[in-house]
């Protein structure tokens, strides 16, 4: 928590998230949409880096602006086809490695393990990472 003289304290995203993840229902939903959150963050980073509007990036991807808004809202996991389009056009690499719980993943490199997050989904360990 940060605080400056005379101002109310504010919390970082990580601090708020850490607190929210204590709630099992929130954690379940957060994990369910982890891929959507990763994709949203990468699209937002790309737009900021290249100073693009949602409309401009939609045109670049051959999509509608509303589709970009939905991706950035991270309320639904994107399709495989959408991930392929983002990778091909924007040059963002996505890695989703799904393995049975308790088994070491064999296809993941160390950089992906460091930048990604492993979650448990339906008895599987899922590593989600993005590299731009």
Q: Provide the residue range defining the domain that includes 76.
A: 33-131
Q: Please check whether residue 2 lies inside any domain of the structure.
A: no
What's the rounded Cα separation, in Å, for the pair 20 and 28?
11
Local confidence band at 105 (pLDDT 50, 70, 90 cut-offs): low
Residue 116 lies in a domain: yes
**82 and 108 in contact (C-beta within 8 Å)?**
no
In a domain, 13, yes or no: no
Model pLDDT for residues 37-71, shown as the tens digit of each residue:
999 999 999 999 999 999 999 999 999 999 999 99
Q: How far apart are the first and last CA of the chain?
A: 30
Q: Is pLDDT above 60 for 84?
A: yes
Say if residues 63 and 88 touch (Cβ distance below 8 Å).
Answer: no
Q: Token digits for 58?
A: 């939609």
Q: Is residue 86 part of a domain?
A: yes
**Contact between 71 and 39 (Cβ < 8 Å):** yes
3 assigned to some structural domain: no
Sole residue written with tokens 């990778």: 87
The most confident of 2-11, 92-101, 109-118, by mean pLDDT = 92-101
Total tally of structural domains belonging to the chain: 1
Rounded Cα distance between 71 and 77, Å, is 8
CB 127 within 8 A of CB 83: no
Kindly indicate the confidence band of residue 107, based on its pLDDT and cuts at 50, 70 and 90: low
């Amino acid at each position: 928590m940060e605080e400056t003289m005379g101002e109310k304290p504010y919390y970082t995203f990580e601090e708020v998230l850490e607190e929210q993840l204590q709630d099992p229902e929130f954690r379940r939903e957060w994990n369910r949409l982890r891929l959507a959150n990763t994709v949203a963050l990468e699209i937002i980073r790309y737009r900021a880096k290249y100073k693009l509007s949602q409309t401009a990036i939609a045109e670049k991807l051959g999509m509608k602006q509303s589709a970009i808004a939905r991706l950035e809202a991270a309320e639904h996991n994107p399709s495989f086809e959408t991930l392929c389009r983002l990778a091909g056009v924007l040059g963002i690499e996505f890695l989703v490695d799904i393995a049975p719980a308790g088994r070491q993943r064999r296809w993941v490199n160390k950089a992906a393990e460091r930048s990604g997050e492993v979650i448990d989904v339906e008895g599987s360990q899922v590593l989600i990472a993005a590299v731009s």
